[in-house]
Amino acid sequence: MTNRQILLKSRPVGWPTLDNFEVATVDIPKPANGEVLVKVIYMSVDPYMRGRMSDAKSYAEPFAVGEPCQAGVVGKVMESNNGKFPEGTYLMGMGIWGNYFVTDGTGFQPIDASIAPLHYYLGILGMPGMTAYVGLTAIANLKEGDQLFVSAASGAVGQVVGQIGKNMGCHVAGSAGTDDKVAYLKDELGFDAAFNYKKGDIYKSVKTANPKGIDVYFENVGGPILEAVLNNINDKARIALCGMIADYNATVDNLPVGPRNLTALVKCSVKMQGFIVFNYLKECQDWIPLGAKWLKEGKLKYRVSVAENIENAPQAFLDVLAGKNFGKQVVKLADE
């Protein structure tokens, strides 16, 4: 039993590199009164973590330099001084990039390992799935028959967005960054249209994939796709801004280009709204049983990339930023 952690060694400027991280080996902590010792089985790597590596104003506290990065984790209680989480309990919540940690349980919840693979609680039944559901319901008010478009459509959030859309009777189109991902969207997930945004004219691709225009756009990427979307936006459309990964590594010398056609928002009475999933707790709670039901009925599929060992967490994170993952990226730290 060794306890390794990934510390934030320095704040990245622009694109992060492996040099921004370091591995530390530390003692396994002892849980105090009211605390439990958690062994991390899976940890999540997500694009939003890039924001927390900077000290700029954002919705979450920045990671501290010299301290372990934080992550959503699924783990098992190995030692308990807290009656709510007996030894052997599987639980999910915000932990660290590391093998073991102690917590008093605040913000953690027990999970049912019989419903789905444990790492689904970091993906389709966890924050990414909740994000898809909150964005489509609380923000975009998705309705049957809507023309739905989603970028980064094979990603952790995007693949859930598209399938919720199909389950709700929408026309669903998506973009992704490789032909394999595009084939997955069309052949496996039942998207009505999908294209590789790295090939061809993005303006034509968006138009072709959305022949009746766009009522709801679920924005995961930022950059020029938004401009192409606004050229095809329908009256009273809703844009849920989940993330803008293309812009996360911007620097003063390398600012993103903004969409030049924001007047479309006025002309078509469009609502564009950023959101943080955890401000919509009701919808988050609604999602777990609905997602579990749809999984059981075969109405949801989910693709996951699993990296192994804590030492590979930084590379897995860099891969997510670069779009090299296929589906939700997690890191497996231990057997169940």
What is the binding site for a second copy (CB under 8 A)? 51, 57-59, 222, 226-227, 235, 241-244, 247-248, 250, 255-276, 279
Cα 272 versus chain centre, distance: 19
Task: Please identify, using beta-carbon distances, which residue of 250 and 306 lies nearer to a second copy.
Answer: 250
Task: Please identify, using beta-carbon distances, which residue of 262 and 306 lies nearer to a second copy.
Answer: 262
DSSP label at 78?
Answer: E
Taking the C-alpha atoms of residue 271 and residue 246, their distance in angstroms, rounded to an integer, is: 21
Task: Please identify, using beta-carbon distances, which residue of 275 and 294 lies nearer to a second copy.
Answer: 275
Q: Return the amino acid letter for 147.
A: Q
Least separation in angstroms between residue 182's CB and a second copy is 25
- For the four alpha carbons of 153, 158, 163 and 165, in that order, the dihedral sign comes to negative
Q: Is 328 helix (H, G, I), strand (E, B) or coil?
A: strand
Least separation in angstroms between residue 116's CB and a second copy is 28
Task: Please identify, using beta-carbon distances, which residue of 243 and 314 lies nearer to a second copy.
Answer: 243
Least separation in angstroms between residue 31's CB and a second copy is 35
Task: Please identify, using beta-carbon distances, which residue of 192 and 219 lies nearer to a second copy.
Answer: 219
Q: Is 96 helix (H, G, I), strand (E, B) or coil?
A: strand
Under 8 Å CB-to-CB from 109, ≥6 apart: which residues?
A: 91, 92, 93
Taking the C-alpha atoms of residue 332 and residue 329, their distance in angstroms, rounded to an integer, is: 10
Least separation in angstroms between residue 136's CB and a second copy is 16
Ramachandran angles phi, psi of 20, nearest 5°: -80, -5
Task: Please identify, using beta-carbon distances, which residue of 184 and 248 lies nearer to a second copy.
Answer: 248
Least separation in angstroms between residue 131's CB and a second copy is 11
Least separation in angstroms between residue 219's CB and a second copy is 8
DSSP label at 251?
Answer: B
Q: Which two tokens stand for residue 163?
A: 């399938």
Query: Could you tell me whether strands 36-44 and 233-241 are parallel, antiparallel, or unpaired per DSSP bridges?
Result: unpaired
Closest C-alpha to 89, from 115, 69, 109, 104: 109
Task: Please identify, using beta-carbon distances, which residue of 235 and 308 lies nearer to a second copy.
Answer: 235
Taking the C-alpha atoms of residue 204 and residue 300, their distance in angstroms, rounded to an integer, is: 30
Least separation in angstroms between residue 262's CB and a second copy is 6
